[in-house]
Amino acid sequence: MKFGYLVSVFMLSGMVLSCAKQLNTPDPDLPTGDSDLVKVNFTIANGENTKVIGITDANETRLNRYAVFAFDVESGWFAYKVSTSGESVQLQLRSDRTYHCYALTNYPASGSASLNPAGISRESDLTGKIAYLADNSVSSLMMYGMENVTVAPMDFDPLTDPSAITPVSKTIHVKRIVSRIDVTQVAVDFTGKPYFDGKTFVLKGIYMTNLYKSTRFASDISFAELSNTRSMWYNGGGWHRGDVAESGIDALVGNTELNVTLTKSAPYTVSNSFYVLPNATPKVSDEHQMDTWSKRCTRIIIEAALDGETMYYQVDVPAMERNIIYRVNNIVINGRGSNDPEIIDITPMDEVISFSIEASDWDTPINVNENS
């Protein structure tokens, strides 16, 4: 599954303004005294060959808002613009400089976690910004990207030689800050196990547990990764309906209202996709057995009922990276589950559930291109 975004950059001399202005009159929002400014148009757009395969809607590619920042590497001077309409934004930058250019998309517009451009005065303010899982939704996934962009020196006079003004195109590649977990099907096979004869097996739900609440835009580091505090996690040890509902992440991390009867000849074949922040915590054999909370790997929980008795099957997700799809295939249940979603009281679990996990890129990386 391949997907990508382009942030295109077009550069023109800062002395070439709109028709309503004199050519030698600077824009009022430019720093005074600068004669080497250029206009840079940034846009985010889908490429023809970057459509998401197998997705029937545009939720994963939707751009509801984005902000573009450019920081002068040498001086720290910066400029930014915000767009909520999908149109290009224009920054006015000094020529003959190298910039760290950032694009943030679908960040929250309000609330305590909002990214307020007016509150950013240096590059570290931006890279240190916190992104919260609860600020994502199925129709608005936050994305982040950064590229080094050099604005070349002007070696012509745009007033006397306008034909020398050649647009320059560059790109910034943005990635989603979440990982995607796909559960493609759930099947049962109780062949040769008379205990299950005549019993009804109902799939009640599929959901994610042990989830980071937050991360940094610029890295996968989470406060939860640095602390064992349970309050920094969603669904620590099980499905916490109140916490999940209050934060509004229900649709992102679970499908708890299935109630589908399964038989060997009638598996559940509807693919479910969940969106979580990357958790690089490795699996430890007994971490989930402890009563005292500690950081632990993310899990997929399959909740079922056998003749009305609730039981759970655990699938541990390997260390995750952002913008990667982890596809869980061929889940087959052939035994009793645990009595608790976190504590495995069936040993070994791999004798009652089998599956495979494959990881794949969610996007096609796009290099910075320059045509001058």
* CATH assignment of the domain containing 114: 2.60.40
Task: Give yes or no: residues 145 and 218 share one domain.
Answer: no
Q: pLDDT at position 256, please?
A: 92
Task: Give yes or no: residues 204 and 184 share one domain.
Answer: yes
pLDDT in tens, 46-78: 433 232 333 334 678 777 788 889 999 999 999
What is the Rg, in whole angstroms, of the alpha carbon atoms belonging to the chain? 25
Q: Which residues of 253-291 are buried (b: 16+ CB within 10 A; e: fewer)?
A: bbbbebeeebeeeebbeeebbbbbbbbebeeeeebbeee
**Which residues neighbour 104 within 8 Å (Cβ) at sequence distance 6 or greater?**
66, 67, 69, 115, 142, 143, 144, 174, 217
Q: pLDDT at position 351, please?
A: 80
Answer yes or no: is pLDDT of 45 > 50. no
Other beta carbons within 10 angstroms of residue 372's beta carbon come to 8
For the residues 240-255, what does the mean pLDDT come to?
Answer: 84
CA–CA separation, 145 and 7 (whole Å):
9
pLDDT in tens, 153-192: 765 555 555 445 555 566 777 888 999 999 999 999 999 9
Task: Give yes or no: residues 143 and 204 share one domain.
Answer: no
DSSP secondary structure code for residue 350 in this structure: G
- Evaluate whether residue 141 is within a structural domain: yes
- Evaluate whether residue 266 is within a structural domain: yes
H or E element that contains 126: helix 123-127
- Evaluate whether residue 368 is within a structural domain: no
Answer yes or no: is pLDDT of 8 > 70. no
CA–CA separation, 333 and 260 (whole Å):
14
Task: Give yes or no: residues 62 and 117 share one domain.
Answer: yes
Q: pLDDT at position 368, please?
A: 27
Task: Give yes or no: residues 21 and 146 share one domain.
Answer: yes
Q: Total domain count for the chain?
A: 2
pLDDT in tens, 77-113: 998 888 877 656 778 888 888 999 998 888 887 765 5
Task: Give yes or no: residues 172 and 202 share one domain.
Answer: no
**Identity of the residue numbered 314:** Q
Residue 173 tokens read as: 């590649």
Looking at 147, 176, 205, which one is the last position of a domain? 176
8 Å CB contact between 18 and 156: no
Q: pLDDT at position 239, please?
A: 79
- Evaluate whether residue 209 is within a structural domain: yes
Task: Give yes or no: residues 287 and 258 share one domain.
Answer: yes
Q: Is 110 left (phi over 0), alpha (psi -120 to 50) or beta?
A: beta
Cα dihedral 199, 205, 210, 213, rounded to 10, equals -170
Task: Give yes or no: residues 137 and 194 share one domain.
Answer: no
- Evaluate whether residue 366 is within a structural domain: no
DSSP secondary structure code for residue 137 in this structure: B
CA dihedral for 220, 222, 226, 228, sign (positive or negative): negative
Task: Give yes or no: residues 90 and 189 share one domain.
Answer: no
Its domain, for residue 156, covers 5-176
Lowest-pLDDT choice from 5-19, 126-140, 208-222: 5-19
Looking at 120, 153, 176, which one is the last position of a domain? 176
Looking at 176, 197, 215, which one is the last position of a domain? 176
Task: Give yes or no: residues 119 and 221 share one domain.
Answer: no
**Which residues neighbour 316 within 8 Å (Cβ) at sequence distance 6 or greater?**
283, 297, 298, 299
Instruction: Give this prediction's pTM.
Output: 0.81
Q: pLDDT at position 284, please?
A: 65
For residue 346, give the nearest of 355, 332, 354, 336 by alpha carbon.
336
Task: Give yes or no: residues 77 and 223 share one domain.
Answer: no
- Evaluate whether residue 371 is within a structural domain: no
Model confidence at 335, pLDDT cuts 50, 70, 90, reads very high
Task: Give yes or no: residues 222 and 309 share one domain.
Answer: yes
- Evaluate whether residue 367 is within a structural domain: no
- Evaluate whether residue 372 is within a structural domain: no
